[in-house]
Structure 1
Amino acid sequence: MQLPFFVYGTLKPGESNYARYLVGQTIAEVPAWLDQGTLFTEGPYPFLVCEPDLARPEERVFGTLMTLRSSVYALVLQDLDRLEGYVVGGTQNLYERITMDVQTEHGPFRAWVYVVGTQMLAQIRAGNLHKIPGGNWTS
């Protein structure tokens, strides 16, 4: 099954990696948000955190729900995994790719979401990254 992707950082329209990885590869790009999530950063890109001790129930992360063209899905998935430092079953992943329910004005959609990996989560808990207020990251 080819799920859409929820993007909230450098892959959003207008951000640096959108042109490199997603321009011309989508059939739909819809504003979306994720409930009970928050963003942290240490510089050029954000990390999505959904752990209950770090993200309050009323917090949201805003982004875009991207539906890829079927003909390029596998290739773009591979490229995005590489960009996000994600390897299936990996223990050193920068991000983890999981499925989550994402909200849109048309209702909820199941989507792939890249969330913070365990090593960066430990850095966040140690206070080494700062929280992005409002749940909307821009470069």
Structure 2
Amino acid sequence: MTAGRPPFFVYGTLLPGEPNHDRFLRGRTREERPAVLPGALLYEGPGYPYAIEGHGTVHGALITAAPGAYAELLRLLDDLEQYLGPDHPRNLYERVARPVVPVPPPGNPGGGTGGLRSAEPVRAWAYPAATAVARSLRTGGTPVPGGDWLSRRPPPAPRTP
């Protein structure tokens, strides 16, 4: 990771197979790797999730920008997440640096090749819910079981011959 240019942790509609992945990330990433955000809980939103601080783990992906794409990716994600600046009253999400733990590939507990090589925490940009949104979720939100946005998908229908 380049100093001042941390990777991004995504956990909802930016994950592979979700509606915003191709729109915002395709061609702008060098690496996308499963990861978890400890110390967080995941809640349902209106078609997208919110992470808030809590005693849990949120599953997602650690995204490293492609060479030359960092500034564009940062701007696009800030716009998507309705992040206007630190603690801005109209923020939907905040952009904060948090420790994120890459998940090693199955059968390779030491990690993969290139980029991030171990399950040591990595400081990454994450977009948790802004304060007012988090307060509302704590009092009346619907938690996503296991902190995994993709787990809410129904299993694929069996194929018939």
* TM-score (norm. length: structure 2): 0.78
2:90 equivalent in structure 1: 92
State how far apart, in whole Å, the 2-side matches of 1:110 and 1:70 are.
19
| Structure with the higher strand share, 1 or 2 | 1
Q: Which residue of 2 aligns with 1:75?
A: 72
In structure 2, C-alpha distance between the alignment counterparts of 1:42 and 1:10, rounded to whole Å: 11
- Paired residues of 2:51 and 2:129 also in contact (CA < 8 A): yes
Mapped to 1, the partners of 2:10 and 2:64 lie a distance apart of 11
- Structure 1 CA distance, aligned partners of 2:52 and 2:134? 8
Report how many residues are paired. Answer: 132
1:69 Cα shift? 1.5
Give the unaligned 5+ runs of structure 1.
none
One-letter amino acid of the counterpart of residue 109, structure 1: V
CA distance in 1, matches of 2:51, 2:45: 12
1:21 aligned partner: 24
Kindly report which structure 2 residues correspond to 1:53-68, keeping only aligned pairs within 5 A, or say none.
Answer: 55-56=54-55, 59-68=56-65
126, 129, 132: which one pairs with 1:113? Answer: 126
Give the SS at the match of 1:88. coil
Q: What's the RMSD between the two structures over aligned residues? A: 1.2
Q: Is residue 101 from structure 1 mapped to residue 104 from structure 2 by the alignment?
A: no
Identity within the alignment, %: 40
* Residue 44 of structure 2 corresponds to residue 32 of structure 1: no
Q: Which amino acid aligns with 1:108?
A: P
Q: Which has the larger radius of gyration?
A: 2
Alpha-carbon distance, 1:13 to partner = 1.0
Contact 2:41–2:147 (Cα < 8 Å) also in 1: yes
> Deviation digits for residues 22-56 of structure 1, max 9, x if unmatched?
01111111110011211011330000011xxxx22
- In the alignment, which of 129, 132, 138 is matched to residue 125 of structure 1? 138
- TM-score relative to the length of structure 1: 0.89
Report if aligned partners of 1:99, 1:110 keep a CA contact under 8 Å in 2. yes
For residues 60 and 134 of structure 1, what CA distance do their matches in structure 2 show?
7
1:12 equivalent in structure 2? 15
CA displacement at 1:63 relative to structure 2? 0.5
Runs of 4+ in 1 over 3 A off after TM superposition: none
Secondary structure of 1:125's match? helix
Q: Aligned partners of 2:31, 2:75: CA distance in 1, in Å?
A: 19
For 1:109 and 1:42, how far apart are their aligned partners in 2?
Answer: 27
